[in-house]
Amino acid sequence: MDDAPKLPPLSQSSAASAATGAKLYDELAVLLAQRYASGELSFEEADYLANQWWGMMLKGDEWSDLYYEVYEAFDAGETRETNVQERTDPAIRKIVSRFNKTD
């Protein structure tokens, strides 16, 4: 798919490049939520990635509750545009707030 969203290299995130299994999906969940919340990804781009990675996770042996939480947040916005503002955005903000580092 030529118009698939481009996500910055995972090596720019914490330890995503070395993560495997459930830890990899945890890292992807945080990265996806942060990039969406910051405006780097549109809803459509983030939802596309969430769905693609969801399918990959289901084919594997590992499960990430955090990734499922992020996936569900984007899934909630798929039915109506108002669901993005009413359901997706608040859920993503809540997830991101748990992982934002403050000095």
Residue 41 φ/ψ, nearest 5 degrees: -125, 140
Taking the CA atoms of 14, 102, 34 and 56 in sequence, report the sign of the dihedral they define. positive
**pLDDT of 1-36, one tens digit each?**
456 555 555 444 444 445 678 899 999 999 999 999
Q: Please tell me the pTM assigned to this model.
A: 0.78
> What is the percent of the chain where pLDDT is above 90?
58
What pLDDT, on a 0 to 100 scale, did the predictor assign at position 12?
47
Q: What is the DSSP string of 14-52?
A: SSGGG--HHHHHHHHHHHHHHHHHTTSS-HHHHHHHHHH
CA pair distance 103, 28, nearest whole angstrom = 23
Segment 37-66 mean pLDDT: 93
Neighbours of 78 (CB within 10 A): 14
